[in-house]
């Protein structure tokens, strides 16, 4: 009963409980990457009839969510997104983000998910209500050298390329040639890049002319802007906000 | 260019990058608690005019978000919430949740934030639009003994009690006696529990008759339900869903 | 140059360097096991002509080293050794050992290795000089439940049994039947326990009558002793020390 | 009883126990420093009458132990020692050392302690027997940048300088002026470097002419040597070994 009487007594009594909390701290001066990726997004994309192989509304929503994370986390210098994943790179000498691994991952995931749910309607419209909760996984990785960070980003972009080439061919076979999923998968199994490109050409698709955002993924970085330009931008976005309000109240 | 041609080559080349990913695994057979807490919720509560000392809509929204986490995470046996924080206790012998610390924290925070944003309108109504993003921090803690887990839950509940007693007195002085924030804080500084209770009585408030949910916090646990009851519940919630749809389309 | 002038300035300037030191702390109230095992002891045992399958001098030296660790670390409640490994179990509620993983492992390994080198001559005699350095690896493991700790100890003892049964049969074939290493290994491959026991019987060895220390490994635990007994023991060991000194000076 | 019959059954049954072993892996491509430091060396130095402020035999023993560690660990590029501590720097791109934190620390500490005990007699002579066990603590630290590694080494060397200046003055007062420990400490309290240097001059000691090994600590690095030189060195050390043997048998 005594511990209910005074915050000081409470602290004294339960201070030992704090020792159970393991602190996983990030190494100073290392590049820190937080990578977020959707869980079971295959199911979510089916439930909401995402266009295949790429749904521009879904990509834009990912980009808006990522830009929101960058807005709240000033130490992120660059972000890279593809499919249902996004990587955030924190300034190796930055000091404005939590040094505990789980706090950093938690805050990024919380911001990303919140922005994703909040902006769903804007990207998918009134008719496509969000039927299920998107769930994102997260992890943090440390890169001690510039080379290893560059390798990481190349890796994710190569992953994007290979998946997108496959998906473009796969859905081409289904949408243009009437293949079933199983048939399309069988047709592509064991093929190399040049085979898939040739197959796409047969269907009238020149792969290198597909939209860059699908072939390369999305990159968000900060741009230094003069104060005067910044004020103009603020004014413009205020007008947009007003227009939106009018639209809603109409 | 070669790494862009084949997934196998890509894997081979970048396998070494996986070694940068540190795996923080949870000890098997320990109680795992994931605690989520709001960041800068003081500001969020001001922006949306939360009632003081307690806003039942906000508490209900927290409880809905927590129940959503429990729905997706079948190994959570009990959850405890107070103020802007929630603790989730995972079955020490459970095996249906990720064993990596950051994945577990990320998924809980993602579900909680997503549910919080998605259900905001339902709790706060059309007129109180969500103006900013709620951000939640998260961490995981391991308790090897039943005693230490019980101590943890006592600690959080004692924290709830002490904060709520203070807040009830603080906002009583402001709302009923016209004190300023600074004056109320000064009046309460250095007082013990019995002093705050006496002060509340003078203002006509018998503290022990305040709603339990404010004094004790919220507990969510699972209840074993017979299959027949479960079917009735499902039918009932289907009716509720239909009614909602009608309401929207009307 | 200034940092060389004053310890305070030095601390201020290099305090940031302390943030690079990651602290891996042990969970309170969990059973902690530190397991030490020899590296490349196969080579060390050959270099010093250890008797096969078991060299009692080597086992005694391991036991002396383990007892030394227990003498310096009062929170170790029990230790178990077999072959070139030793496990130390720390009291789950103990508070007299470092809570940092690497400090705990380092101190155990340091004490064990130091005692092993220091007492080599006593166990192996003047004629068998220590020709190379013994190197021990170390790790710490946490067990949250009594059951998991018991399972761990059973596991190590089962490991001892299986290895020793194999080794006894293997060296029996070599020493008593003149097999080569390759032949003995081939003879035993695919055999079950009962086959090895039968084979040993053929060579005149009843396995269950082999010395317990070889079949079961070594266990060291503390025994509560009355103060009077303790004084007698101290007196006795002082006499032993004197006798040794005389031996040396003679 | 069945688990005692077959290694495969044993593995199957206890595989789950391996999940309790937490792996703390080192980040690839980061500089890794393992720092070892003596525990309670104050007491050990008293027991063996170390010369004050510096005992060259003790320094040489530390250096021999460190050279032994470097001999076994080919990825260590440089080591720095002062007082009762030694820092080992591992090649950031090296791959010949364990990537688990505790294994790396354990092996370094094991080698260092073993070499310290084994070579004690050589450094301190037959008359100064090792009366107690030296115990070394250990930890590993990661430095992602060259700058942070350089700062670390500067820090340790500045620490060496400041301690040695203090100790030289402290023991000067005691040995040359007959101060007690308490008086010497009081005399030096609050003094700056220039005060200590002035005080030393009064006692006839020009600090900058003290032996470099005391003022700067010890550095061990590898030197590339031609094969022919290496053979000559081997021959020489073989002769030394023979001579020693003769000495012993005489």
Q: pLDDT per residue over C109-130, tens digit each?
A: 999 999 999 999 999 999 999 9
Report whether pLDDT(D220) > 70: yes
Residues of chain A whose pLDDT is less than 70? 1-7, 13, 240, 243-250
pLDDT for D19:
84
Q: Tell me how close the Cα of C29 comes to any Cα of chain B, in angstroms.
A: 6
Q: pLDDT per residue over D101-128, tens digit each?
A: 999 999 999 999 999 999 999 999 999 9
pLDDT for A249:
57
pLDDT for A129:
95
C86 versus D25: the higher-pLDDT residue is C86
Q: pLDDT per residue over C203-249, tens digit each?
A: 999 999 999 999 999 999 998 888 888 787 788 777 767 766 665 55
Contact C148 D20 (CB under 8 A): yes
Q: In CATH, what number is assigned to the domain containing residue C186?
A: 3.30.70.3000
Q: What are the phi and psi torsion angles at C81 (to 5°)?
A: -130, 145
> Residue C141 domain-assigned?
yes
Same domain, A74 and A168: no
> Residue C147 domain-assigned?
yes
pLDDT for A14:
75
Give the D-side interface with B, CB within 8 Å. Answer: 16, 19-20, 22-23, 25, 27-28, 99
pLDDT for B245:
65
Query: Which of D92, D144, D147 lies at the smallest CB-CB distance from A30?
Result: D144
In angstroms, the CA D129 to CA B139 distance is 53
Contact D99 B28 (CB under 8 A): no
Collect all residues with Cβ–Cβ distance below 8 Å to D185 and sequence separation of at least 6: D170
> Residue A2 domain-assigned?
no
Q: How much is the average pLDDT of D157-181?
A: 95
Q: Which tokens in the block code for residue C99?
A: 């809570």
Contact A99 C16 (CB under 8 A): no
Contact B16 D25 (CB under 8 A): no
> Residue D66 domain-assigned?
yes
Same domain, A182 and A131: no
pLDDT for A245:
65
Query: Which of A20, A140, A192 lies at the smallest CB-CB distance from B141?
Result: A20
> Which residue of B139, B144, B152 to mutate against C (max C Cβ within 10 Å)?
B144
Residues in A closer than 8 angstroms to B102, CB to CB, are 101-102, 105, 138-140
Q: Tokens 């039943």: give the residue.
A: B146
Q: Tell me how close the Cα of B25 comes to any Cα of chain C, in angstroms.
A: 12
Q: Tell me how close the Cα of A18 comes to any Cα of chain C, in angstroms.
A: 10
Q: Tell me how close the Cα of A229 comes to any Cα of chain B, in angstroms.
A: 25
Contact A144 D148 (CB under 8 A): no
Query: Which of A16, A19, A25 lies at the smallest CB-CB distance from C22?
Result: A25
Report whether pLDDT(D238) > 80: no
Same domain, A204 and A234: no
Mean pLDDT of chain D: 91
pLDDT for A243:
66
Distance between the two ends of chain C, CA-based, in angstroms? 57
Q: Using CB atoms within 10 A of its CB, is residue D55 exposed (0-12), middle (13-18) or buried (19+)? A: middle
Query: Which of C21, C139, C162 lies at the smallest CB-CB distance from D141?
Result: C21
pLDDT for A224:
84
Distance between the two ends of chain D, CA-based, in angstroms? 58
Residues in B closer than 8 angstroms to C29, CB to CB, are 143-145, 147-148
Got the DSSP string for C74-100?
Answer: TTEEEEEEETTEEEEEEPTT--SS-SB
pLDDT for D5:
66
Q: How much is the average pLDDT of D16-43?
A: 91
> Residue B196 domain-assigned?
no
Same domain, A72 and A187: no
Contact B22 D20 (CB under 8 A): no
Residues of chain B whose pLDDT is less than 70? 1-7, 13, 240, 243-250
Contact partners for chain D, using 3 or more CB pairs closer than 8 A, are: A, B, C
Same domain, A182 and A134: no
Q: pLDDT per residue over A214-225, tens digit each?
A: 999 999 999 888
ipTM score of the complex? 0.88
Chain B residue closest to C31 (CA)? Answer: B144
Residues in B closer than 8 angstroms to A158, CB to CB, are 3-4, 10, 14
pLDDT for C244:
64
Residues in D closer than 8 angstroms to A32, CB to CB, are none
* B164, B215 contact by CB (below 8 A): yes
Contact A25 C28 (CB under 8 A): no
Q: Tell me how close the Cα of A30 comes to any Cα of chain D, in angstroms.
A: 5
Same domain, A180 and A89: no
Q: Tell me how close the Cα of B156 comes to any Cα of chain A, in angstroms.
A: 10
Contact A99 C19 (CB under 8 A): yes
> Residue B107 domain-assigned?
yes
- For residue C195, what are the domain limits? 31-225
In angstroms, the CA D70 to CA D78 distance is 8
Residues in D closer than 8 angstroms to A30, CB to CB, are 27, 30, 142, 144
Got the DSSP string for chain C?
Answer: -GGGT-HHHHHHHHHHHHTT----BPPTTSEEEEEEEEESHHHHHHHTT--SS--HHHHHHHHHHHHHHHHH-TTEEEEEEETTEEEEEEPTT--SS-SBHHHHHHHHHHHHHHHHHHHHHHHH-TTS---S--EEEEEEEEE-SHHHHHHHHHHHHHHHHHHHHHHHHHHHHHHHH---HHHHHHHHTT--HHHHHHHHHHTT--GGGS-HHHHH-EEEE-----HHHHHHHHHHHHHHHHHHHHHHH-
Query: Which of D20, D22, D28 lies at the smallest CB-CB distance from B19?
Result: D28
Q: Please state the domain count of chain A.
A: 2
| DSSP secondary structure letter of residue B126 | T
pLDDT for D6:
65
* A200, A172 contact by CB (below 8 A): yes
Contact A68 B143 (CB under 8 A): no
**CA B124 to chain centroid:** 17
In angstroms, the CA B38 to CA B112 distance is 11
pLDDT for A247:
59
Collect all residues with Cβ–Cβ distance below 8 Å to B121 and sequence separation of at least 6: B129, B130
Confidence of residue C18 (pLDDT cuts 50, 70, 90): confident
* Among B65-69, C7-11, C44-48, the least confident range: C7-11
pLDDT for D92:
96
Mapping DSSP onto H, E and C, the string for B144-210 reads CCHHHHHHHHHHHHHHHHHHHHHHHHHHHHHHHHCCCHHHHHHHHCCCCHHHHHHHHHHCCCCHHHC
pLDDT for C224:
84
> Residue B151 domain-assigned?
yes
Q: Tokens 């919080």: give the residue.
A: B116
Mapping DSSP onto H, E and C, the string for D94-142 reads CCCCCCEHHHHHHHHHHHHHHHHHHHHHHHHCCCCCCCCCCCEEEEEEE
> Residue C105 domain-assigned?
yes
Q: How much is the average pLDDT of C84-106?
A: 95
The percentage of chain C sitting over the pLDDT mark of 90, rounded to a whole number, equals: 77
């Amino acid at each position: 009963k005594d511990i209910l009487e005074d915050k000081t007594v409470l602290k004294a009594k339960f201070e030992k409980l704090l020792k159970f909390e393991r602190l996983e701290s990030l190494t100073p001066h290392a590049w820190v990457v937080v990578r977020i990726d959707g869980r079971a997004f295959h199911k979510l994309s089916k439930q909401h009839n995402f266009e295949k192989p790429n749904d521009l509304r879904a990509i834009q929503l990912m980009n808006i969510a990522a830009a929101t994370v960058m807005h709240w986390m000033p130490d992120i210098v660059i972000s890279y997104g593809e499919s249902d994943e996004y990587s955030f790179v924190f300034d190796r000498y930055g000091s404005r983000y939590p040094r505990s691994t789980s706090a950093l991952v938690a805050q990024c995931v919380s911001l990303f998910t919140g922005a994703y749910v909040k902006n769903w309607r804007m990207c998918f419209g009134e008719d496509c209500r969000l039927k299920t909760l998107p769930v994102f996984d997260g992890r943090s990785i440390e890169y001690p050298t510039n080379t290893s960070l560059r390798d990481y980003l190349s890796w994710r972009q190569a992953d994007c390329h290979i998946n997108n080439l496959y998906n473009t061919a796969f859905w081409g076979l289904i949408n243009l040639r009437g293949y079933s999923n199983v048939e399309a998968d069988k047709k592509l199994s064991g093929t190399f890049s040049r085979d898939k490109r040739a197959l796409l050409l047969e269907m009238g698709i020149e792969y290198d002319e597909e939209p860059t955002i699908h072939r390369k993924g999305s990159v968000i970085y900060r741009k230094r802007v003069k104060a005067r330009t910044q004020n103009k931008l603020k004014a413009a976005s205020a007008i947009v906000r007003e227009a939106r309000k009018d639209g809603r109240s109409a």
